[in-house]
Amino acid sequence: SGGGRSYLATCERLSANRWEKLPDMPTARTACAAVCPGSSRLLVTGGRRGYDALSSVELLQRSPTGVWQWRRLAPMLTARCYHDMALFRGCVIVAGGLYFAGCVGRSSFCF
């Protein structure tokens, strides 16, 4: 936590109008972005803990046996929070956001 705050790592899925608890993210955070690059996958990038922007990238994936598991992927080139993320022509695009001392980021990249 930072500044008296507690950052969440929890993850939940809405299915048939009911919430289901999924495994906690490896990194607790706020101000992150998420996108679903497939029916059984969730990609979470960046965010912040305290005053630090994060570059972490974590993938939640469901195995053929139905078990959900998180996996850490290569970090982003730029730590960022409050950014946007989208799927475009088979790629995950991350753009903008904030980094060091609240400056606006202008970079983007593709997974």
Percentage of the chain surpassing pLDDT 70? 86
Quick one: how many helices (H) and strands (E) in the chain? 0, 13
The residues, ordered by sequence, that sit 6+ positions from 65 with a Cβ below 8 Å of its Cβ are: none
- Identify the residue whose tokens are 């993938």: 59
Give residue-wise pLDDT tens across range 38-91. 889 999 999 998 888 999 999 999 999 999 999 999 999 999 999 999 999 888
pTM: 0.85
- Helix/strand/coil for 78: coil
Residues forming beta bridges with residue 43, ordered by sequence position: 35, 59
- Helix/strand/coil for 101: helix
> Do 105 and 96 form a contact (C-beta atoms < 8 A)?
yes
